[in-house]
Structure 1
Amino acid sequence: MRRILSILAVSSVLLLAGCATKTRSDALTTTLTAYGSTLRWGDFQSAAQFIEPAARAAHPMSKLDIARYQQVRVSEYDAGAGPVPTGDFDVQQTAQISIVNLHTQSERTIVDHQTWHYDEKTKHWWLTSGLPDITQD
């Protein structure tokens, strides 16, 4: 009887861990899809809402940052192979973003190295690496 209870307890823990992992994975997929869509529309101010709240409060977007983001249009967003786990609650993703300067109509592609962290308390994935650097050559 003790052995059966032991097996049931271990099975329950593994089942709950599996559910937690699936929930976390589903949340990641939803978050990355929403973030990618937001960037595809060129809505950088809304994309800033994906940044971890403490980091967003510590480093708010300046007027210069906002002006720079308003100067470009996103023509393509490609997340490539998708996220790569770097720990239980962290993933990295590299995206190539093609942007067009509205004044010169020149297009260039930047590489955005994203780091995402899962907050267990809020059950939410947060971008910890910040918005793409559109000033890179």
Structure 2
Amino acid sequence: MRLITTVLLAVLALAGCASSSPAANALDAAQYAWSGAIRWNDFGGALNLVDPRLREEHPLTELERKRYEQIEISAYRDVGSSRNIKAGTAVRSIQIGVVNKHTMEQREVRYQETWRWDEAGKTWWITSGLPDLWAGE
């Protein structure tokens, strides 16, 4: 799965060469890699795109890892987004289809991604962490 994420990131980076700025291109690539990782249930790969400070402050527990293993993602839709490249911020509202592997029940979860630009690293980090696919449960 990590290979898929890396390949998708590289393809998007090449396709985005005509975009307006390097930071905008990098955001498109990061969001594409993130959504691909989530869609393919590669939560370990997605975790690599989470802000390193957040990963350090709130490491993923073994119980949380096991919970992600019990679901499949059936849909991942961007239902609204905004970006301020100059300020180094971006937000996307996402609707995720989640299927419980044991019961085969599907449900929809709303999730808001927040992103920040790391000028030193020339990369975007997601600051909202992995989606809480059990909100309200």
Q: Same fold (TM over 0.5)?
A: yes
Larger radius of gyration: 1
TM-score, normalization: structure 1?
Answer: 0.80
Between the two proteins, the alignment pairs up a number of residues equal to 116
- Structure 2: state its 5+ residue gaps: 1-19
For 1:75-120, what per-residue CA distance to the aligned partner results, in whole angstroms no more than 9, with x for missing partners? 1111124x30256101111111101000000000101111000000
Between structures 1 and 2, the one with greater helix share: 1
Q: How does 1:1-137 map to 2 (within 5 A)?
A: 22-81=21-80, 83-85=81-83, 88-137=87-136
Counterpart-to-counterpart distance in 2, 1:111 and 1:59:
21
List 4+ stretches of structure 1 deviating above 2 A: none
- Structure 1: state its 5+ residue gaps: 1-20
Counterpart-to-counterpart distance in 2, 1:88 and 1:72:
36
For 1:27-54, what per-residue CA distance to the aligned partner results, in whole angstroms no more than 9, with x for missing partners? 0001101110110101111111111111
For 1:14-36, what per-residue CA distance to the aligned partner results, in whole angstroms no more than 9, with x for missing partners? xxxxxxx6100000001101110
TM-score, normalization: structure 2?
Answer: 0.80
Q: 2:102 is paired with a residue of what secondary structure?
A: coil
